[in-house]
Structure 1
Amino acid sequence: LSTVVRTRRRKAGLPEDERVCAVCGDPASGYNFDRLTCESCKAFFRRNALKAREKIKPCSRGGGCDVSGSQRKHCPTCRLEKCVRVGMKKELILPPEKLEQRAKPKKRAKNGGPPSDGPSAAHHGLSPAAPAAPPQPKRSAKAASSSHHHPQPSRQRCPSPSRSSPSLLDAQQPPESELALVWSAGTAAGRRWPRELTATDRECLASLAEALARARETLGSSSASADSASGASAGHRKDGVGRLEQAFNQMDACIRRIISVVKLIPIFSDVEKDSQILMLKVNIYGLVILYSSFFNNSTTPAGVSSSGGAGLSLMQELAASVSAIIEMRPDVSDLTPADLDQYRANTDNVYAQLERHSRRDDIVKMLMLALKLFNSDTMPAEVRGAIDEAQSVYSQLLKKYLACKFGVADAMRMYPRLLMTFIDMRTVENKMTEFTKLLSVESLNPLVREVTQVN
């Protein structure tokens, strides 16, 4: 409990625009159940986190609903899943009797008993007439006064990320590390939002613009041949497994394009060759998602193949293939139709968030791709240092670019929401990894086999 109280005091040093709810994106009131949230999500989590699943209204869409802002009240199931996913802890919810003990004497009396009847008085053997209750408000006022003076010293000291928000830097919870980047980078940079681009920053942005041009060039020149090759490789099989093999083999061309793009991203070439390959392997599905977002528009679903086949996106085709497999052979996988519905909804939600929070700015998406590339969550400890430094560089560059392009106020809102997209993206990546368990090594092209690490 004391840890939670100290965390609440620390948040007082944050500027208002940096206090963003990790669940819905609205302004946050403080750290609640170990995560920065608004009062609405705090109350929602307290009411529902300990309920039996069947007592909560089920999601009518199979999961993946948008719970940001005013949309958060539409689907309690998806909202609760988001609360748990960002790291809110059920074990920090106090039972009613503990809450009553913490309440002020007046409030306890209003709820059904005189102040002196509370557990505290009984524990110390005080009679109802004993003057034990009145001093309590004085102690509270003193504590509040002490806490009121804490923010100023914390701003002067500018504590390191590890001391200011340790719960967000828990190495045991890799899915949350991208969210932790929001606060760790902001704290490390001090309380002033970076807004001036240096000459080095401008050179880096120019290289990213070149990488974006290469991305579009490469897609146009290679997509037709890739589609025909992948179609021929699995043309003899029309069942679910054959469709899944074909969908994964279509990634061959996409992976080659991604490799040609990341070679143009500054700092990547400075990393050792073995580490470069490992970075691609552990982040490949996220890179595929981000790469295909460059070709998303109002009339074309994200990642649509240029072939005239079914006209489905790669992500949709993966789900359709797996659906056909488990329908014919339900014993080969633990995946259920509900899992696939949630995968589809999560995929749509990730692309929608990328479009909305980037404001359709492709340089913003390229910076996101760089952040994903330099994600060291599952990298060996001995190579994390250089990769983390590179990620920090791109984190700061994203903040500066947003401030220059959209203004500081908008940048402070956009930045944490963009990085929160990585959390939802991770759920899609995990499902894609599960899909590979239905494949055999012999069925895949060599590059796809190596990068996706199919055994």
Structure 2
Amino acid sequence: TIKHPVKRKKGPAPKMLGNEVCSVCGDKASGFHYNVLSCEGCKGFFRRSVIKSAQYSCKNNGRCEMDMYMRRKCQQCRLRKCREAGMLEQCVLSEEQIRLKKLKKQQEEETARTSAVMTPTPPPEMATLDPQQQEMIEKLVAMQKQCNKRSFLDRPKVTPWPQSQDLQNREVRQQRFAHFTELAIMSVQEIVDFAKQLPGFLELTREDQIALLKTSTIEIMLLETSRRYNPTIDSITFLKDFSYNKEDFAKAGLQFEFINPIFEFSKGMNDLHLDEAEYALLIAINIFSADRPNVQDHDLVERLQQPYVDALRSYIMIKRPNDHLMFPRMLMKLVSLRTLSSVHSEQVFALRLQDKKLPPLLSEIWDVNE
């Protein structure tokens, strides 16, 4: 007698536990197909048989017991078992129906993607600068411009760069070295003037002021050098008119072990495309570094630095809302400056071994004992 299975109610298929078997052949079931729990093999076999109206014949007069072995040997009995298990022909989709179903699914997915693109996501809460931060940034930029303007007025006092290409001429070498050291002196004076105008700097003891300036000056000079880098001609321009490539630095007596890192750092900074406010904030953060040698009041220096760090973070979030890594990248540049500062110390020592004597101001700021 044929057993008529109880039909499953319509609705979502119940969750499988992982140990179900096919109602037709006893293989591991893969889901509910055509109203019955079955495996992929029996599902495909039943569908092909229905669509093709297949006629099979059994060599055993339709008495084969169906299992994973016999399902491949007797298709007539397998089809009979499919029907007995409860597979319904009206549940099988035709080729055209399947094609239309796939097409509909593709259209729905495309619509969903289009909607995701067309529908803007709610913007995150915008960062804002409070009035004090805005005023601080404007003052920093104005202070830098004023310091730079004073240096520009002193430009005629700088020893001219010699036109002679004679690398062996001692006088020519000394002129080039004097040209560079005088530019360095102007840069140091700019930095000192800028630091004295920073809110809180004059609150520090004279000893801490000197300790901060001695160690930060060369790093700020390198920051200022990087903002004057021209990637088109791979050169650095000072006071708008003086441009120098690596060879010019070498002619002035600097070593390529120091020159190459300067240009590499400058290229990296140029890639960040910082504006005047970001440079000014970085310089202020660099000056108020509590971990400098010989600094006594670390807590005060840290408190003075924090407003500049907060202002830079907020400024970057406003200017570059989609670049969440810009702030840590900029701070990492300050770490790179520590390495460059060590290379600079080696360069200063090398100059002492040559016939290069630094001017008193540079000797004092860089702790060179003649």
Shorter-chain TM-score range = 0.5 to 0.7
Q: What aligned pairs does 1:326-337 form with structure 2 within 5 A after superposition?
A: none
Instruction: Give the Å deviation of 1:260.
Output: 1.9
- 1:39 equivalent in structure 2: none
Computed over aligned residues only, the root mean square deviation of the Cα atoms, in angstroms, reads 3.5
Q: What aligned pairs does 1:47-86 form with structure 2 within 5 A after superposition?
A: none
Q: Which moved more, 1:434-443 or 1:370-379?
A: 434-443
Instruction: Give the Å deviation of 1:370.
Output: 1.0
CA distance in 2, matches of 1:376, 1:316: 37
The superposition leaves residues 199-244 of structure 1 with CA deviations (integer Å, 9 ceiling, x where unpaired) of 221221121121222133123212231344999xxxx944867755
- 1:413 equivalent in structure 2: 325
- 2:24 equivalent in structure 1: none
Instruction: Give the Å deviation of 1:250.
Output: 3.3
Please give the secondary structure, in 1, of the residue aligned with 2:129.
coil
- 1:437 equivalent in structure 2: 349
Q: Do structure 1's residue 351 and structure 2's residue 283 form an aligned pair?
A: no
8 A Cα contact 1:278 1:379, kept in partner: yes
Identify which of 148, 167, 172 aligns with 1:216: 148
One-letter identity of the residue aligned with 1:361: D
CA distance in 2, matches of 1:443, 1:294: 28
CA distance in 2, matches of 1:316, 1:218: 28
- 2:362 equivalent in structure 1: 448
8 A Cα contact 2:185 2:362, kept in partner: yes
Identify which of 290, 304, 311 aligns with 1:397: 311
CA distance in 2, matches of 1:302, 1:368: 23
- 2:198 equivalent in structure 1: 265
8 A Cα contact 1:354 1:365, kept in partner: no
Q: Do structure 1's residue 250 and structure 2's residue 149 form an aligned pair?
A: no
The superposition leaves residues 325-356 of structure 1 with CA deviations (integer Å, 9 ceiling, x where unpaired) of xxxxxxxxxxxxxxx54533321221122222
CA distance in 1, matches of 2:171, 2:237: 20
Aligned residues: 239
Relative distance call for 1:301 and 1:278 in structure 2 (3 A) is farther
Q: What aligned pairs does 1:355-366 form with structure 2 within 5 A after superposition?
A: 355-357=270-272, 359-366=273-280
- 1:277 equivalent in structure 2: 210
The superposition leaves residues 412-448 of structure 1 with CA deviations (integer Å, 9 ceiling, x where unpaired) of 2101111111233223221211121134599332211
Larger radius of gyration: 2
Relative distance call for 1:317 and 1:297 in structure 2 (3 A) is closer
8 A Cα contact 2:161 2:175, kept in partner: no
Relative distance call for 1:293 and 1:222 in structure 2 (3 A) is farther
Q: What aligned pairs does 1:137-286 form with structure 2 within 5 A after superposition?
A: 195-228=127-160, 237-238=170-171, 244=177, 247-286=180-219
Q: Which one scores higher on RCO, CA 8 angstroms, separation ≥ 6?
A: 1
Relative distance call for 1:212 and 1:242 in structure 2 (3 A) is closer
Q: Which moved more, 1:275-284 or 1:434-443?
A: 434-443
Instruction: Give the Å deviation of 1:392.
Output: 2.2
The superposition leaves residues 352-395 of structure 1 with CA deviations (integer Å, 9 ceiling, x where unpaired) of 222222x2311111111111111232333532211122222211
CA distance in 1, matches of 2:298, 2:360: 28
What TM-score do you get using the length of structure 2 for normalisation?
A: 0.55
Q: State the identity as a percent.
A: 18
Identify which of 289, 292, 296 aligns with 1:378: 292
- 1:82 equivalent in structure 2: none
One-letter identity of the residue aligned with 2:349: K
- Which 5+ residue runs of structure 2 have no aligned equivalent? 1-123, 164-168
Relative distance call for 1:354 and 1:393 in structure 2 (3 A) is same
- 1:176 equivalent in structure 2: none
